[in-house]
Structure 1
Amino acid sequence: MSTIIEVSHVYKAFGGLSVLDDCSIKVEEGSITGMIGPNGAGKTTLFNIIAGNLPLDSGRVRFNGEDITNMPANELFHKGLLRTFQIAHEFSNMTALENLMMVPPRQLGENLFHTWFKHTEVRQQENDVRQRALEVIDFIGLSHVRNELAGNLSGGQKKLLELGRTMMADARVVLLDEIAAGVNRTLLGDLVANIERLNRERGYTFLVIEHDMDMIARLCDPVIVLAQGHVMMEGTIEEVRNNPQVIEAYFGAPTE
């Protein structure tokens, strides 16, 4: 596998407090890579830097060999690099299906000129987008709530909807930020299964921040451990679980 995301010697501070200090990671194309660490380790800050939501102070970020350091999120979206959030960001007053239909960029109907003079083309594109959205909502198992306002969905259903939106954007890499948070075990199983299917059948690469270690164990190889703003170790979940430094970082005392 080739490296699709490379973070090199990144430093980020807030008000003089260092959050990331000489942090470097690599994510291999086609992998589901986990990222864990105690609270305050810098995981979300690193996610925000990779996704273009936060500028770094020094260091470099590359995506598929291209330098994307401090490139804004909207440009990264068009390159196929997307992120989800711990709290889902749905359009609450639109239906689940409409939320998916909003995603594809550069739709003809966004231009007033086209709606007046190219209404046939606009209608055809809308039909194509709708059909694709129907396929995606069936894939993620939300067909039964496709006409429900997204704001009325459960937390788990909203997380599934966010995953569906990445499919509407033809993502290459998806950054998943605590996707298990607030999700019941049944829907969490659906989420994990969909992530596995997207990785296996569509070649998605995932970088996953998660505190649910059972989910990390099922999904992720390798697992990167962050502590105090830098990488402590990288390995399989078993290597991570049995590493005394990792245990000390999480529980604050060395093993006997």
Structure 2
Amino acid sequence: MKNDNMIEVKGVSKSFGGLKAVSDCSLQVEKGSITGLIGPNGAGKTTLFNIVAGTLMPDQGQIIFDGEDVTALKPHELHAKGMLRTFQIAHEFSAMTALENLMVAASEQPGESLFQSWFNIKHVTDFDLEVRKMALDVIDFLHLGHVKNELAGNLSGGQKKLLELGRTMMTDAKAVLLDEVAAGVNKTLLKDLASNIQRMNRELGYTFFVIEHDMDLIAELCDPVIVMAQGTKIAEGPMEDIRNNPEIVEAYFGTAVEAAS
């Protein structure tokens, strides 16, 4: 039977001591979608993201990725299967150029093998030329040509976020988890960032799962939007419906917020 979901969260719970951060949470991220995840502080969004990304193990429940149970897999194993995550604070190689940051992200480079480096130098060299061409294509796609030779540590917050997006394009990614993509990004670059996410979704077929506090950005990018409160999903739908849902207004401005503060 055909499965239209890229990510499925099935009955996931996670506690830290006496605090139940995620409670019997189930949700789906459809293939080819840009799905948003919102909720008040303390709703369990980041904990759930960490479980999906493999940095935390759930106490119970399952994570299904592209039809496969990946609950027990580590982040590097999920990366190999095509699930990537970006972070609120960009993790660039600051002493390398923007172009070099993209080149090192390419998967299965033969130069990483001592045998290949010694006995198959032509193959390594040819592969490096292909990776460089691919990285330059990504630079052009993201309109970062003017900073391609700049040290990544000198880039602005928004440029670093674009560079993180570019690194996902250097791999065989199927789905990208975006954690607070707007954090530290000025309004001008945020428009570029949003536009590139939409282009990667539309032109390259990437599925995105997005945690974000900027409701205008969520409204621009995401459909559907999933709402969490007190560790579980309470609503899902277009942003217009979400904003007009009394239960969600209560979650943000009523008892759920008071309980989380």
TM-score class, shorter-chain normalisation, is over 0.9
CA root-mean-square deviation: 1.2
Which digits, 9 at most, give the CA deviation of each residue in 1:99-125, with x for residues without a partner?
Answer: 101112221111122111111111000
Match for residue 12 of structure 1? 14
Match for residue 259 of structure 2? none
- Residue 99 of structure 1 aligns to a residue in which SS? helix
- Residue 193 of structure 1 aligns to a residue in which SS? helix
Q: Which of 39, 53, 56 lines up with 2:55 in the alignment? A: 53
Aligned AA (2:241)? E
**Counterpart Cα distance in 2 of 1:97 and 1:134:** 7
1:200 aligns with 2:199: no
**Counterpart Cα distance in 2 of 1:24 and 1:246:** 17
**Counterpart Cα distance in 1 of 2:108 and 2:67:** 26
TM alignment of 1:199-238, pairs within 5 A: 199-238=201-240
**Counterpart Cα distance in 1 of 2:95 and 2:38:** 34
TM-score by length of 1: 0.97
TM alignment of 1:85-96, pairs within 5 A: 85-96=87-98
Superposed displacement of residue 70, structure 1: 2.3
Match for residue 173 of structure 1? 175
Match for residue 162 of structure 1? 164
Q: Percent identity?
A: 65
- Residue 40 of structure 1 aligns to a residue in which SS? coil
Tell whether the 8 Å contact from 2:51 to 2:57 is kept in structure 1 after alignment. yes
Superposed displacement of residue 253, structure 1: 6.4
Q: Tell me, which stretches of 5 or more residues in structure 1 are unaligned?
A: none
- Residue 217 of structure 2 aligns to a residue in which SS? helix
Aligned AA (2:159)? Q
Q: Which of 116, 119, 123 lines up with 1:117 in the alignment? A: 119
- Aligned residue pair count: 254
**Counterpart Cα distance in 1 of 2:10 and 2:143:** 38
Superposed displacement of residue 170, structure 1: 2.2
Tell whether the 8 Å contact from 2:227 to 2:236 is kept in structure 1 after alignment. yes
Aligned AA (1:90)? E
Match for residue 142 of structure 1? 144
Aligned AA (1:134)? L
Q: Which of 74, 77, 82 lines up with 2:76 in the alignment? A: 74
